[in-house]
């Protein structure tokens, strides 16, 4: 995930937010607005549209998102996809009311939330334009996208601990990579929220440092291989290296 803290308005400047529905096989969308935007109609546009529930990600909504993504993926005119919410909420998480009475057997047996992964498997670039709450599943949903453009009022968090559960759609993994282990653990263990600005700063401070540490370890590890010795020796001896994958 790359997180850019700038006005989502910039991104959406050329995009009219007038609700337009594109019909799909089986009828219109109930929980999202779907359109193709831009002069060349080459930007797939999905707006989460459950304002009364702060775009809580109920099963129906996520099924529709999957369907819209499939449609855009297959549409040769479409080069990139934007997913957005409202000024108040990108999404306030998975739908707690829908989850409230689920049993372990239902979750495990039905592989609950597995279909959300569609967002991260789309081949075309997917951009999340986030303002307001991006909490729990909302934060995870945004992090599944390739790029996040976050507005000034964006707030990210994984408050599942406050519900007696844990992130269930990749939050513990993607947040760690996005903002570093320390802040990710703090957010997951406290349920606190951070602004886009704080997330961006942490991304640079922590992830880069951790990435560098890993890179250094892997670099050092190459010194345990014969091929590294052969490559450097071949350079010094002005000949082509004979690598043996050892
Ligand atoms: N699920 C279902 N409904 C939700 C919801 C959610 N995640 N978040 C908000 N709503 C509903 C509220 O129940 C309320 O509905 P009613 O008017 O019918 O009561 C409506 O949206 C407005 O919410 P609030 O009145 O609470 O609005 P607020 O401005 O006072 O507070 C908020 C906003 C801080 C985001 C608060 O709504 C909140 O804390 N929401 C829950 C956030 C959360 O815990 N998300 C994680 C969900 S679990 C998850 O996502 C698991 C996972 O990893 C996939």
User: Using CA atoms, how far apart are residues 31 and 185, in angstroms rounded to an integer?
Assistant: 32
Active-site position among 140, 150, 178, 199? 140
Give the phi and the psi of residue 34 in degrees, each rounded to 5.
-130, 135
Phi, psi of 47 (to 5 degrees): -115, 120
Q: How far is the CA of 166 from the centre of ligand 1 (A)?
A: 16
Reply yes or no on whether 160 is catalytic: yes
Residues of the chain with pLDDT under 70: 1-27, 204-218
CA dihedral (148, 85, 137, 181) positive or negative: positive
Decide: 157 in ligand 1 pocket, CB within 6 A.
no
Question: Using CA positions, which residue lies closest to atom 22 of ligand 1?
Answer: 53
pLDDT score at 24: 45
Is 137 part of the annotated catalytic residue set?
Answer: yes
Asked whether the beta carbons of 57 and 85 are under 8 A apart, the reply is no
**Ligand 1 lined by 64 (C-beta under 6 Å):** no
* pTM (whole model) above 0.75: yes
The edge-to-edge listing of strands for the beta sheet with 43-48 is 2-5, 147-150, 126-130, 80-84, 43-48, 32-37
pLDDT of res. 213:
66
Question: Is the CB of 141 within 6 Å of ligand 1?
Answer: no
Burial (Cβ within 10 Å: 0-12, 13-18, ≥19) of residue 61:
buried
Q: Which residues lie below 8 Å from residue 88, measured CB to CB, with a gap of 6+?
A: 51, 54, 131, 132, 133
What's the gap in Å between 94 CA and the centre of ligand 1?
Answer: 9
Ligand 1 pocket residue status of 168, Cβ below 6 Å: yes
């Amino acid at each position: 995930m790359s997180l850019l803290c700038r006005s989502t308005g910039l991104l959406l400047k050329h995009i009219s937010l007038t609700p337009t529905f594109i019909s799909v096989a089986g009828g219109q969308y109930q929980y999202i607005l779907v359109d193709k935007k831009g002069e060349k109609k080459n930007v797939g546009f999905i707006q989460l549209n459950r304002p009364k529930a702060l775009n809580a990600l109920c099963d129906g909504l996520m099924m529709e998102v999957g369907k819209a993504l499939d449609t855009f993926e297959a549409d040769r005119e479409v080069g990139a996809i934007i997913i957005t919410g409202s000024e108040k909420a990108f999404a306030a998480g998975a739908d707690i009311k829908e989850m409230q009475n689920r049993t372990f057997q239902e979750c495990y047996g039905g592989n609950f939330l597995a279909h959300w992964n569609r967002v991260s498997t789309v081949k075309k670039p997917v951009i999340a334009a986030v303002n307001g709450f991006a909490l729990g599943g909302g934060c995870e949903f945004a992090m599944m996208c390739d790029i996040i453009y976050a507005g000034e009022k964006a707030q990210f968090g994984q408050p599942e601990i406050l519900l007696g559960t844990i992130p269930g759609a990749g939050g513990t993994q993607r947040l760690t990579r996005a903002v570093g282990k320390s802040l990710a653990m703090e957010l997951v263990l406290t349920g606190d929220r951070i602004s886009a600005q704080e997330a961006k700063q942490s991304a640079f401070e922590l992830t880069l440092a951790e990435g560098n540490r890993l890179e250094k370890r892997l670099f050092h590890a190459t010194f345990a291989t014969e091929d590294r010795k052969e490559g450097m020796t071949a350079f010094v001896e002005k000949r082509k290296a004979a690598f043996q994958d050892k």
